[in-house]
């Protein structure tokens, strides 16, 4: 292999990431309505949470049903640091992300040290999220059942933007940074160890991999990225309660997007989020037009159907289908 070919292989993935960033950055120019920009901003928030989940489950094989614990920790920390302590949101952001990472580390320490994996680990993470939801709903410091309202202070210095396109671009920056982090992990020694744990944990341990340490690193990174999504959500909605921040909806969407888009890939969570939320919104709009009123739960039915179809016909997700099509075209040529 020539030096030029090696350089192309090394630069190719980063060029594709740069191209995706450029393409996504021009979307507000194509869809300038307030509803479309609001939808795009929400897509970026969910995509960031999905990228966090993918780091742990897609690469490490540790499926979590409770990423709402990390999302809610980031969201509540972001809001409460401003409301209760008067901290500037840009300073609250790294603190909230760090708290999300520490929550992931604590969850992983209690779970992995006990040898939990598979369905046992998934159920334990679900239990952690539910415990956080109950605590947030009962504590006066978090606002209890009434929730917490972040004061409206429009301005870049307050991480609040009058223009929805600006929020979208900021959220896009977070998503691209998380995708770059995923790419770095993918091509690192730690990433190779993580994949080894996913494929066969006993074999990885026999080869000298400290599997508990590797999984702890993964869940800490995953918790931090998911907490960043919670921070964005808090600044976007400016209101939180326990059922929103720690509710099962975010755990479901964070895991469905990578499964449908492609587990263990850089672009899978983003592609899956666009498909999942796009079809969900389209279905709700179509049914509302046909029936004359909203149909509650229609998007959840669609999400379940998409999951069944993905598992049955596209186990490698959208990115697997694209890669397979590209390989067939390349072979034909």
**DSSP string for 242-299:** HHHHS-HHHHHHHHHHHHHH-TT-SSHHHHHHHHHHHHHHHHHHHHHHHHSS--TTHH
| 5 lies in some domain | no
Whether the Cβ atoms of residue 318 and residue 262 lie closer than 8 Å to each other: yes
Structure tokens at 82: 């401003």
* Mean pLDDT across 97-103: 97
- Answer whether residue 6 shows pLDDT above 80: no
C-alpha torsion 45→51→52→58, nearest 10: 150
- Answer whether residue 75 shows pLDDT above 70: yes
| 259 lies in some domain | yes
**In angstroms, rounded to a whole number, what is the distance separating the alpha carbons of residues 218 and 73?**
18
| 38 lies in some domain | yes
How do residues 177-203 score in pLDDT, each as one tens digit? 999 999 999 999 999 999 999 999 999
What CATH number should be reported for the domain holding residue 104?
1.10.3470
Structure tokens at 280: 């969900």
- Answer whether residue 228 shows pLDDT above 50: yes
Q: What is the pLDDT of residue 11?
A: 56
- Answer whether residue 8 shows pLDDT above 50: no
Short-list 16, 15, 39, CA closest to 28: 39
**In angstroms, rounded to a whole number, what is the distance separating the alpha carbons of residues 15 and 251?**
31
Q: What is the pLDDT of residue 42?
A: 95
Q: What is the pLDDT of residue 13?
A: 74
Check residues 137 and 286 and name the one with the higher pLDDT: 137
- Answer whether residue 43 shows pLDDT above 90: yes
pLDDT confidence band for 218 (50 / 70 / 90): very high
| 3 lies in some domain | no
How do residues 297-309 score in pLDDT, each as one tens digit? 666 777 777 778 7
- Answer whether residue 294 shows pLDDT above 80: no
pLDDT confidence band for 153 (50 / 70 / 90): very high
Whether the Cβ atoms of residue 83 and residue 148 lie closer than 8 Å to each other: yes
**In angstroms, rounded to a whole number, what is the distance separating the alpha carbons of residues 95 and 77?**
8
**In angstroms, rounded to a whole number, what is the distance separating the alpha carbons of residues 160 and 38?**
14
**In angstroms, rounded to a whole number, what is the distance separating the alpha carbons of residues 82 and 228?**
16
Rounded to whole angstroms, what are the CA distances from 176 to 78, 219, 259?
21, 20, 19
Contacts of 219 (CB under 8 A, 6+ apart): 56, 62, 104, 105, 107, 108, 112
| 2 lies in some domain | no
How do residues 235-273 score in pLDDT, each as one tens digit? 999 999 999 999 999 999 999 999 999 999 999 999 999
Whether the Cβ atoms of residue 263 and residue 58 lie closer than 8 Å to each other: yes
Q: Measure the N-to-C terminal CA separation of the chain; round to a whole number of Å.
A: 21
| 1 lies in some domain | no
- Answer whether residue 9 shows pLDDT above 60: no
Range scoring the smallest mean pLDDT among 195-204, 221-230, 292-301: 292-301
- Answer whether residue 17 shows pLDDT above 60: yes
Q: Tokens 């109950």 appear where?
A: 134
- Answer whether residue 94 shows pLDDT above 80: yes
Q: What is the pLDDT of residue 310?
A: 75
| 50 lies in some domain | yes
For residue 148, the 8-state DSSP code is E
Count Cβ atoms below 10 Å from residue 116 Cβ, excluding itself. Answer: 17
Q: Domain limits at 278? A: 14-332
- Give the chain's mean pLDDT: 89
Domains of the chain: total = 1
What stretches of 117-240 adopt beta strand conformation (E)?
148-149, 239-240
* Mean pLDDT across 39-65: 96
Q: What is the pLDDT of residue 107?
A: 96
């Amino acid at each position: 292999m020539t030096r030029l070919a090696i350089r192309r292989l090394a630069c190719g993935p980063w060029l594709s990431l740069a191209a995706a960033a450029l393409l996504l950055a021009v979307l507000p120019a194509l869809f300038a309505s307030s509803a479309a920009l609001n939808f795009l901003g929400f897509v970026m928030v969910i995509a960031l949470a999905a990228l966090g989940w993918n780091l742990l489950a897609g690469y490490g094989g540790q499926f979590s049903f409770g990423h709402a614990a990390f999302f809610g920790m980031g969201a509540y920390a972001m809001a409460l640091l401003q409301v209760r302590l008067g901290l500037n949101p840009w300073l609250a952001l790294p603190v909230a992300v760090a708290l999300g990472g520490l929550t992931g580390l604590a969850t992983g320490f209690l779970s992995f040290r006990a040898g939990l994996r598979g369905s046992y680990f998934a159920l334990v993470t679900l239990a952690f999220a539910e415990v956080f939801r109950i605590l947030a709903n009962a504590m006066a410091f978090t606002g209890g059942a009434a929730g917490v309202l972040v004061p409206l202070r429009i301005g870049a210095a307050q991480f609040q933007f009058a223009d929805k396109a600006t929020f979208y671009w900021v959220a896009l920056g977070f998503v691209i940074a998380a995708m770059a982090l995923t790419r770095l992990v993918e091509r690192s020694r730690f990433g190779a160890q993580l994949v080894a744990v996913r494929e066969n944990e006993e074999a990885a341990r026999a080869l000298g991999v400290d599997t508990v340490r590797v999984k702890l690193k993964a869940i800490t990174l995953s918790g931090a990225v998911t907490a960043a999504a919670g921070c964005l959500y808090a600044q976007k909605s400016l209101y939180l309660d326990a059922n929103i921040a720690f509710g099962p909806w975010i755990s479901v969407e964070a895991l469905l997007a990578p499964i449908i888009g492609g587990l263990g890939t850089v672009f899978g969570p983003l592609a899956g989020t666009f498909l999942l939320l796009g079809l969900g919104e389209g279905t709700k709009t179509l049914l509302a037009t046909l029936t004359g009123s909203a149909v509650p739960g229609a998007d959840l039915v669609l999400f379940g159907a998409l999951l069944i179809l993905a598992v049955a016909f596209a186990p490698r997700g959208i990115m697997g289908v694209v890669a397979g099509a590209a390989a067939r075209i390349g072979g034909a040529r």
